[in-house]
Amino acid sequence: MIQKIDLRSDTVTKPTPAMLDAMFAAPVGDDVYGEDPTINALEEKAAALFGMEAGLFCPSGTMTNQIAIKVHTAPLTEVICDISAHIHQYEGGGIAFNSAASTALVHGERGKMTPQQVEAHIRPLDNIHFPETKLVALENTCNKGGGAFYTLAEIAAIYEVCKRHNLALHLDGARVFNALAASGDQASDYGLYFDSISICLSKGLGAPVGSVLLGSKDFIKRARRIRKVLGGGMRQAGYLAAACMYALDNHAERLQDDHRKAKELEQVLLQSDYVESVLPVETNIVIFKLNNRYTDAAFVQALAQQNILASSFGPQMIRFVTHLDVTDDMQQNLVQVLQSLNEQEVPA
Ligand SMILES: *Cc1c(COP(=O)(O)O)cnc(C)c1O
């Protein structure tokens, strides 16, 4: 039996020994009093990196997104996002629960909206039948879109629509470092276009916990109040922020390696007789559709028997995510197992 390979998500990574050392060595204080030097340093560093004024350390990307939406909206207003967006699909209905706002859902291409689609979903003003459009939210990369990414030019075009209609623009950047690695865009340019950005250090960058919400000083001041009321005011959480800082400093460059592995899996799957189609692989996510040889549940089971964990992602759909803890040896084994599932022998 091969060593366990967990492709369910890039959240499954464990801290490296060097990351643990950084955590143990972190100076900490009570962050609710604003006295945790490691959290303060992380917030400042992340804000500067993305060309924003201030940051707010939170336990999860769901919390950073939900706080941002709460600050940007009011009850009876609306958020425009793609129908596959994490904020709509995977945050438990939090937009309705936390913000009493609705969502206008765009049927984009692999999770990406065009400026025209965004503009078409803006509600007419001065008509009391409609909610009032307040916010546009992008996701980069798009999880359900198979890791597709927006380029800076595409973001700028959507920003122009927002500016013309006086709408705020939020980024769910759970995997923004993958988008940056793939596009070659500069993180600091993001600050030109977004009113708020959520980044996750616990995805591809490999920290055990932690997201940072970025925005103007005034925005973050209001966000800090919402974090407290949600129970997200943490105390000596600098131990966690130290892991995030380490991840930011040491694990962004290597994302190219995850992308290369995902691309190789795409090639293997395209040649496999149990696969109907694969979403084009651009970053570290591989989403593919099985033909009738397997159901998604049976395929996940077949992989599990070989010590490989994958996610069912809807009827006949499977998702693999590559990450820091998938070694080159594991990748080799993975390719062999995927090839061995073919009915016809694959020539060596
Ligand atoms: C993982 C993820 C989040 C945040 O998830 P948490 O588990 O709450 O940290 C947000 N958006 C996207 C697209 C994600 O993949």
* pLDDT tens profile 4-25: 999 999 999 999 999 999 999 9
Give the per-residue pLDDT at 2: 80
Contact by Cβ (8 Å): 88, 94 = no
14: Cα separation from own chain's centroid: 18
Alpha-carbon distance 235 to 30, whole Å? 4
Atom of ligand 1 nearest to the CA of 203: 1
Strands of 25-98, DSSP E:
54-58, 77-82
271's tokens: 């040649």
The answer to whether the Cα torsion of 128, 97, 210, 5 is positive or negative is negative
Residue 16 vs residues 92, 241, 244, 250, 264: alpha-carbon distances, Å: 31, 15, 12, 11, 25
246 φ, ψ to 5°?
-60, -40
Contact by Cβ (8 Å): 176, 197 = yes
Contact by Cβ (8 Å): 71, 223 = yes
Alpha-carbon distance 312 to 291, whole Å? 14
- Ligand 1 centroid to residue 179 C-alpha, Å: 15
Terminal-residue alpha carbon distance, the chain? 21
- The length of the chain, given as a count of residues: 348
Give the per-residue pLDDT at 345: 63
Q: What is the CA radius of gyration of the chain?
A: 21
For residue range 69-106, what is the model confidence (pLDDT) as tens digits? Answer: 999 999 999 999 999 999 999 999 999 999 999 999 99
14 φ, ψ to 5°?
-105, 150
Pocket test for ligand 1, best of 98, 112, 172, 212 (most atoms within 8 A of CB): 172
Contact by Cβ (8 Å): 283, 149 = yes
Check pocket membership of 200 for ligand 1, CB cut-off 6 A: yes
Check pocket membership of 174 for ligand 1, CB cut-off 6 A: yes
**CA dihedral defined by 98, 104, 105, 111, rounded to 10 degrees?**
-70
Question: 3-state DSSP call for residue 250?
Answer: helix
Give the per-residue pLDDT at 347: 58
Check pocket membership of 140 for ligand 1, CB cut-off 6 A: no
Residue 244 vs residues 12, 202, 239: alpha-carbon distances, Å: 15, 8, 9
Give the per-residue pLDDT at 15: 97
Alpha-carbon distance 61 to 199, whole Å? 7
- Please work out, in degrees rounded to the nearest 5, the angle formed at the alpha carbon of residue 266 by the alpha carbons of 7 and 322: 25
- Ligand 1 centroid to residue 299 C-alpha, Å: 25
Go through the domains of the chain in sequence order and give each one's CATH number: 5-12+254-340 (3.90.1150.10), 17-250 (3.40.640.10)
139: Cα separation from own chain's centroid: 7
User: Which residue positions in the chain have pLDDT lower than 70?
Assistant: 344-348
In this structure, the residue with its CA closest to atom 5 of ligand 1 is 61
Pocket test for ligand 1, best of 86, 202, 284 (most atoms within 8 A of CB): 86
